[in-house]
Amino acid sequence: MSSTKSKFRSMTLAQRLKLVNSTYISYPRFDEILNAIEYCHYFSSCKDEPECLFLSGHTGVGKTTIYHTYASKYPRYITSDRTVIPILAVTIPSPATVKAVVSKLLWQLGDPAYEKGSIGKQTIRLIGLIRDCGVQLIILDEFQHFIDRDSAKVLKTVSDWLKTLILDTNLPIVLIGLPEAEQILKLKDHSQLSRRFANRCRLSPFGWYADSGEEFRTFLHLLESQLPLESDSNLSGLNLARRFYYASDGVVAYIMKLIRYGTYLALQQGKEQLDLSILAVAFEKYVHADKPDKVNPFLSDEFEIYQPKSSSSGIVEATNNRLGTASKKTRAKLKASSVLTTR
């Protein structure tokens, strides 16, 4: 047992759970998007117009984690005469209206009358407070909530408001949402808005085809290295990695639910590693309801990994990864490579 692992013995359950809940793993696609946001943040001031970004991805892939990670590097602070808010970030409420978004932005900036006034008057106050608070970057999460309204009038209103906000503040804006939110940027007669958000990033789940799960397994290896457990669980071994991939479809949110609840159960039971029985319970509690057609891969060996694969026919294919006994080669401990980095 390494000295790093042995230190957990003296920690309380609450301390260990806090560690696992705050676990953060970085990987190339994640870092590329953080770098893209940083580019918008720092290089907009050097250009005639700000560099904006649209980040899309399906639920659970880590979009919100990305914006929280970036914003946390630039916390608000108080000087002798004002509160400085470098990053102005809000989650768009549902149902979404421009007024609701402006009100929430004003509230974040400390406007006591954040709900009062027309959209036009609120926006004027917002622009003034943005300047007074030294805002450098605006982030709007859950942008698809405008699409949920399913109204051409609403989409045109938000498109016009966004264009005005960019022009009047000259600040970069990062929009985050599901892929369908991109249609706001494709409205006819709004090519200027589309051009301003020409920088578009897509965050996808982990794949299995391209590298036979190497990146996914490396992610699990790095994740396990941060768990507050004294014994190794060999999460990155082919046996468990296949089970994790089938259970999560490569979506980070499901992986973390399995790991966090599994760690809680292990510590409650006085265990120092994640075994199949613990992970089976975690799957039933936190994954199975969303994926009722899946067998529990921590109880059964009879499952196949399905993942869309690009082909000329456009047909979704599947890998036949029915689990068998791993060879000595695949059981060998996976080394953390330069594919991923951890912070």
The answer to the question of residue 342 being in a domain is no
The whole-number pLDDT of residue 316 equals: 31
Residues 41 and 170 in one domain: yes
Q: In the listed set 202, 228, 261, which residue is the last one of a domain according to the structure?
A: 202
Identify the band that residue 342 occupies on the pLDDT scale cut at 50, 70 and 90: very low
Confidence of residue 212 (pLDDT cuts 50, 70, 90): confident
Out of 45-59, 207-221, 325-339, least confident range = 325-339
Burial class (CB in 10 A: 0-12, 13-18, 19+), 120: exposed
- The CATH code of the domain that includes 190 is 3.40.50.300
Which range (104-108, 223-227, 294-298, 301-305) has the least confidence? Answer: 301-305
Q: Which domain holds residue 132?
A: 28-202
Q: Is residue 336 part of a domain?
A: no
- Give alpha helix (H) positions in the chain: 3-6, 13-21, 28-43, 63-71, 98-108, 119-132, 152-169, 191-196, 214-225, 238-248, 252-268, 276-286, 328-331
Domain assignment present for residue 301? The answer is yes
Compute φ and ψ for 241, nearest 5 degrees.
Answer: -60, -40
pLDDT score recorded for residue 106? 97
Name the percent of the chain lying above pLDDT 90. 60
- DSSP letter (8 states) at residue 59: T
* Last residue within a domain, chosen from 202, 225, 254: 202
Q: Evaluate whether residue 47 is within a structural domain.
A: yes
Query: Quick one: which of 185, 191, 187 has its CA closest to 53?
Result: 185
Task: Answer whether residue 183 shows pLDDT above 90.
Answer: no
Q: How far apart are CA 117 and CA 119, in angstroms?
A: 7
Q: Is 166 in the same domain as 49?
A: yes
Residue 58 has pLDDT above 70, yes or no: yes
Task: Let me know whether 59 and 167 are in one domain.
Answer: yes
Same domain, 196 and 210: no
Number of domains in the chain: 2
Q: Are residues 187 and 41 in the same domain?
A: yes
The pLDDT assigned to 336 comes to 42
Rg from Cα positions in the chain:
23
Q: Half-sphere exposure of residue 325, counting CA atoms within 13 Å on the CB side?
A: 2
pLDDT at 45: 72
Is 20 part of any domain? no
Q: Are residues 52 and 193 in the same domain?
A: yes
Distance in angstroms (rounded) separating the CA atoms of residues 173 and 44: 10
% of the chain beyond a pLDDT of 70: 84
Q: Specify the range with the lowest mean pLDDT, choosing from 13-22, 233-242, 291-300.
A: 13-22
Examine residue 18 and state whether it is found in any structural domain, yes or no: no
Q: Name the domain boundary from 181, 202, 223.
A: 202
- Do residues 187 and 214 both lie within one domain? no
Shared domain for 134 and 103, answered yes or no, is yes
| CA pair distance 123, 120, nearest whole angstrom | 5
Q: What is the pLDDT of residue 272?
A: 92
Q: Are 243 and 164 part of one and the same domain?
A: no
* pLDDT interval class at 332 (50, 70, 90): very low
> In the sheet that 53-56 helps form, which strands lie side by side, from edge to edge?
87-91, 137-141, 173-177, 53-56, 199-202
Strand partners, 199: 53
Together in a domain, 223 and 320: yes
178 and 51 both lie in a single domain: yes
Do both 194 and 128 map to the same domain? yes
For position 96, what pLDDT does the model report?
A: 85
pTM of the model: 0.82
Give the closest residue to 258 by CA, choosing from 236, 239, 284.
284
Residue 297 lies in a domain: yes
pLDDT confidence bin for 328, thresholds 50/70/90: very low
The average pLDDT across 73-82 equals 94
Q: Is residue 215 in a domain? A: yes
Per-residue pLDDT of 305-327, as tens digits, reads 876 544 333 333 333 334 433 33
